[in-house]
Structure 1
Amino acid sequence: MPIYEYCSENPDDPERSCRVCRRGFELRRPVDRAPLEKCLLCRNPVRKVISRVNTPKVAKPLSVSDAKKAGFTVLEKRDQGTYEKL
């Protein structure tokens, strides 16, 4: 099940948000369910927030020896459709 993030539509208005939806919250929901429209505690409107994606940062490209140490098979293209294992 994916994790969805929600926050209040009016985070600056204490009358229209509770401390939970003002800060934002995460919720595990099935994909086929409709997104939440109201906070579970205060019943005020909330919106779904697009969260950041965590991607690994590679400082330098892997060398052939690094790839082999990591367990990858390294192939080099020789001719049209022909590869040779290094």
Structure 2
Amino acid sequence: MTTPAAADPGPPLRAWERRRLRGIERGLRARARSRLLLCLCLDAVALALLAAGIFLALPWLFAGCVAVNLAVCAHLER
């Protein structure tokens, strides 16, 4: 019985490939922390604009909806 192609791990990675993948992984981990701060700030701004739109004026509500869309895009970009 033969092993399916999807289960075959292939040849082992070369040293330069391992270094490059490790560098990419390190960069992704470092950006995750800064992206979390950005997402939290966008969430806070969006909620503040929505609240201002509900209680103060409708143009703020539109700005809040735009900010919510940006916040959702920032969360889903990962």
TM-score normalized with structure 2 length: 0.22
- From the two aligned structures, give the one with the greater helix fraction: 2
Q: Which has the larger Rg?
A: 1
TM-score normalized with structure 1 length: 0.21
